[in-house]
Structure 1
Amino acid sequence: MTDHARRLDAHYDALARARGEPLLRRLRDAFRAAGRDPECLDPDATAGIDQLHQGGRAASRALARRGAIAAGQRVLDVGCGTGGASRLLADEFGAEALGVDITPAFVDVAEWLSRATGLADRTRFLCADAARLPLPSASVEVIWCQHALMNMPEPTRALAEWHRLLVPGGRLLLHEVVAGDNPAPLALPVPWARSAATSHLVSGRALEALLDAAGFAVSSLTDVTEAALAWRRKQGRRAAAPRETANAAAPLPGPALIFGDDFAVMGRNLGDNLADDRVRILEGAWVRR
């Protein structure tokens, strides 16, 4: 494991290190506590732990529509986390999805959730560095990436690898966190970083230049920061709402079971960073030249 991979693993699988309990076991136990069979789940039950990006499933659906994802298309989901976007693309759009993530615990969970939701035959997962993938050239028609480039210290190398993997005319779809115009330091921690060591934000203009240099022509691009901020605030209000009754069943698993007790702070800081223009969210599609 490279130093980069170790730093990301320490961030995204921090609870396993602190408590000595693997993420997979922790989530399975939480579903049982909520009265759910961890071997038979549906997308609504898993939404709290498999869409670890701003906007949740709605953002994934919007990106899929922007990219005209169609049945049978081969999609590489880069930085797939626990596999939610891969499953959504397979289930709702008929794609053949391969998810890739550098964090081993996420890949373990992604494989389990695909089995539990009946999508194991339509999704596959691989633990690997997105800049060094053991896949043949021109093997996918779409590369999909939601909130992963900001964790990559060598974006030029990653984009070159993605260009290699796409067929000519293939599409790159991004829903990405970028640096805003406010030069103030980020309020930390945020969901992708507890320190600057794992945060590698570039500005939107810099990202566009990197993509152009890597051989990608922009097809459409929208700044969706305001929608992301509204969603973040809604999630914050929902998390702060009291449980209805003391005797209610345990809630379905949410991101705090992955990130830890400081997830609430991460969410507030992300909202502050969005509101202060320290970060922005872009959604766009590019075509491989």
Structure 2
Amino acid sequence: MRQLGLRSLAARTRRAIVDLGCGVGVDTEAIARSTGAHVIGIDRDRASLARAARAPGVRYLCADPLRLPLATATVDGVYSFGLLERLASDGNEPIRAVIREIRRTLRDEGVAILATVADFRHRGAGRRSLTGAEVSQAVRGSLKLHELIGLVDRGRDGAIARHWYIHALPGPAGSAGRDGA
């Protein structure tokens, strides 16, 4: 699924990309290598960022994903793998807030590639799995859903986890503005 997201970014963006919830920066570096873009890895966990490898064209920021320290309409792409289910543990409003921030920072021709795992076997531990309907609802009004793919993974124990791949574009004129209103 990550490869699908990286290919989508590489096909559409070449300048500035944000890896939101980047952790130790594994995907951040892969984005920089595959796109040639300047990549900003953002995470609120200082310990993870301290372990992130430094690479050419990559910069890391410690910041709250709900209040990005980026100017409006300055980013060509936003990539996020695994952040939504962490935010969902606090309810749906943090998810909507991060989607509004993504929209605010994206240029009109930008793209958002978001992925989340819906594994209903493991509840708690700071995560809440999202259904496809919740994912679709979260982007509505701020981003235009271009593609929503649900991939099913059957574990060795026979249990099923669903992985959501979300490819979204800034909303059309008349949808929620950059301020989320």
TM range (shorter): 0.7 to 0.9
Give me the whole-angstrom Cα distance separating, in 2, the residues matched to 1:287 and 1:198.
28
% identical equivalent positions: 22
* TM-score normalized by the length of structure 2: 0.82
* Length, aligned pairs only: 166
Q: Does the 8 A contact of 2:149 with 2:165 survive in 1?
A: yes
Paired residue for 1:101?
Answer: 43
Cα distance, 1:148 vs structure 2: 1.1
Q: Which has the higher contact order (CA 8 A, sep 6+)?
A: 1
Paired residue for 2:2?
Answer: 60
Give me the whole-angstrom Cα distance separating, in 1, the residues matched to 2:122 and 2:147.
30
The Cα offsets for residues 186-216 of structure 1, whole Å up to 9 and x where unpaired, read as 336xxxxxxx261133211111011013x21
Alignment partner of 1:283 is 2:165? yes
Give me the whole-angstrom Cα distance separating, in 2, the residues matched to 1:81 and 1:288.
25
Paired residue for 2:128?
Answer: 200
Q: 2:115 aligns with which of 162, 175, 200?
A: 175
Secondary structure of the structure 2 residue equivalent to 1:138: coil
Q: What amino acid does structure 1 have at the position aligned with 2:80?
A: C
Alpha-carbon RMSD: 2.1
Secondary structure of the structure 1 residue equivalent to 2:23: coil
Cα distance, 1:69 vs structure 2: 4.0
Q: Does the 8 A contact of 2:14 with 2:76 survive in 1?
A: no
Change (3 A) 1:106 1:85: same
Structure 1 stretches lacking a partner, 5+ long? 1-58, 181-185, 189-195, 234-270
**More strand per residue: 1 or 2?**
2
Cα distance, 1:70 vs structure 2: 5.3
Give me the whole-angstrom Cα distance separating, in 1, the residues matched to 2:151 and 2:130.
16
Structure 2 stretches lacking a partner, 5+ long? 172-181
Give me the whole-angstrom Cα distance separating, in 2, the residues matched to 1:177 and 1:84.
18
**More helix per residue: 1 or 2?**
1
Is the radius of gyration larger for structure 1 or structure 2?
1
Secondary structure of the structure 1 residue equivalent to 2:77: strand
* TM-score normalized by the length of structure 1: 0.53
